[in-house]
Copies of this chain bind each other. A is one copy, B any other.
Amino acid sequence: MRLSRYFLPVLKENPAEAQIVSHRYMLRAGMIKQAAAGIYSWLPLGFKVLRKLENIIHEEQIRAGHIPIQMPILQSAELWRESGRYDDYGEEMLRMKDRHGRDMLYTPTAEELVTDIFRAHVNSYRELPLTLYQIQWKFRDEIRPRFGVMRGREFLMKDGYNFDLTKEDALHAYNRHLVSYLRTYERMGLQAIPMRADSGPIGGDDTHEFLVLAETGESEVFYDSAITDLRFGNRDIDYDDRAACAAVLEEFTSRYARTDETHVEAEFHAQVPEARRRQARGIEVGQIFYFGTKYSEPMGATVVNEKGERVPVHMGSHGIGVSRLVGAIIEASHDDRGIIWPEGVTPFHCGIVNLKQGDAAADAACESLYGALTAIGLEPLYDDRDERAGAKFATMDLIGLPWRITVGPRGLRSGVVELTSRRTGESEALRPEEAVERVARIYGKAAD
């Protein structure tokens, strides 16, 4: 993309309403614009990141054998009355009447609706296991929305639901989700720690929240510092292998790690040596639940088992806060000049800064780099505006592309351009084709 043809409305001033760094940088980098309290438009740069997160989630869910669907934004109140949650949900549920006076609501979650799909179509244990998920906009009418997309009212969420014959099967689904979430967050450049959590209005016994450590996190967390050394990495996991999935659960959840909701000081002290005890703040970016027959029983979501008996299915639900993740990544990865995108989610792979727009050699070198990077399947953002170098660098730093190639007449006279890491600030003089090759390698692409 050429910046002269893009829509990147960066702000020079810090917006007064933004209290935390992710909100500030998302506004300043032209990623979002508030449309109403807690409701945002995603401008081109923000939408690109959101879409990358969506794609990673889809890939990892499909890899785990989960099947994507799309449920509607508006639901009828009927199903929620059936489960008993319509009255329980309180003022956070946005309710309305359609033109025929029927009670409708903006979906805050979809346990009821997916259970209704299941009971309408599945009849036999032979059709299990089944996990359906979607990525869809949700709404919770927060009384005081704040912190930008971190605590908005309208938010994008991945919500998945497993249907299994037995508790044991459902716990395997739980473990499978835990594994797929670890992979998902790591691909996004995040360390998200599974912590024992409280089940809240979804209900259920087993539940873990995934928390990203950050000073601005809304949750107080207590954990064994050994946990932060764990990495899922490039393990090749067979999602049908129950023992392998259970071993990952064990590895990542056996050490003490809890939010303030479940924290017990005495247990913390008993389980964790003092030198490894940590108290910090965390941002919740996902949660997995096993809740058994909580919905299947009242809603009649049953299958016929091997003995010919009709039994309610065991379920769980599993969520990732997609739009909030954009904020969480920025909270975890920035400096005082702006965002620093992890390579896995960066909106553009590489910036190209032309120090002297209009200089024939510089223009030609930039075009050639742009063409070469595009040809290998990368998306560069080429700042081809007639601006001072300082302004171009400030924009690149603010929007946080992990790599920048700087092209100027002086370097070109020596046959080099400069490749700079946004994270370390280190620069290297390279021949243009070397720079392309280096960037290609970083992103796992082959340069021609």
Binding site for B on A (CB under 8 A): 5-7, 9, 30, 33, 35-37, 39-44, 46-48, 50-51, 65, 67-76, 91-92, 94-96, 98-99, 102, 104, 106, 113, 116-117, 120-122, 127, 130, 132, 137, 139, 141, 143, 153-154
Contacting pair A104 B69 (CB below 8 A): no
Cα of A92 to Cα of B99 in the assembled complex, Å? 8
In the complex, the chain B residue whose C-beta lies closest to that of A98 is B141
Give chain A's interface secondary structure class: mixed
**Most chain B beta-carbon contacts within 10 A, residue among A35, A104, A122, A130:** A35
A99/B43 contact (C-beta < 8 A), A7-B130, A71-B35 known: no
A9/B121 contact (C-beta < 8 A), A47-B68, A68-B47, A113-B35 known: yes
**Most chain B beta-carbon contacts within 10 A, residue among A42, A74, A113, A141:** A74
A44 → B minimal CB distance (Å): 5
Cα of A387 to Cα of B69 in the assembled complex, Å? 26
Contacting pair A5 B43 (CB below 8 A): no
Contacting pair B91 A69 (CB below 8 A): no
In the complex, the chain B residue whose C-beta lies closest to that of A10 is B121
Can you list 21 A-B pairs, Cβ within 8 angstroms, ordered by A? A6-B67, A9-B120, A30-B121, A33-B117, A33-B120, A33-B121, A35-B113, A35-B116, A36-B72, A41-B70, A41-B71, A41-B72, A42-B71, A44-B68, A47-B69, A51-B68, A72-B154, A73-B139, A74-B106, A74-B139, A99-B141
Cα of A69 to Cα of B132 in the assembled complex, Å? 27
Residues of B close to A72: CB separation below 8 A: 35-36, 39-41, 137, 154
Residues of B close to A33: CB separation below 8 A: 117, 120-121
Residues of B close to A50: CB separation below 8 A: 70
A104 → B minimal CB distance (Å): 7
**Most chain B beta-carbon contacts within 10 A, residue among A44, A99, A137:** A99
Contacting pair A36 B139 (CB below 8 A): no
Contacting pair A43 B69 (CB below 8 A): yes
Residues of B close to A41: CB separation below 8 A: 69-72, 113, 117
Cα of A113 to Cα of B73 in the assembled complex, Å? 20
Contacting pair B74 A154 (CB below 8 A): yes
Residues of B close to A96: CB separation below 8 A: 94-96
Cα of A139 to Cα of B99 in the assembled complex, Å? 12
In the complex, the chain B residue whose C-beta lies closest to that of A154 is B72
Contacting pair B76 A47 (CB below 8 A): no
Residues of B close to A117: CB separation below 8 A: 33, 41, 43
Contacting pair A69 B42 (CB below 8 A): yes
**Most chain B beta-carbon contacts within 10 A, residue among A30, A65, A98, A154:** A98
Contacting pair A36 B106 (CB below 8 A): no
A131 → B minimal CB distance (Å): 9
Cα of A283 to Cα of B78 in the assembled complex, Å? 33
Contacting pair B73 A44 (CB below 8 A): no
Contacting pair A104 B36 (CB below 8 A): yes
Residues of B close to A76: CB separation below 8 A: 35-36, 39
Cα of A214 to Cα of B106 in the assembled complex, Å? 35
Contacting pair B7 A74 (CB below 8 A): no
**Most chain B beta-carbon contacts within 10 A, residue among A92, A104, A154:** A104
Residues of B close to A40: CB separation below 8 A: 72
Residues of B close to A73: CB separation below 8 A: 73, 106, 137, 139, 154
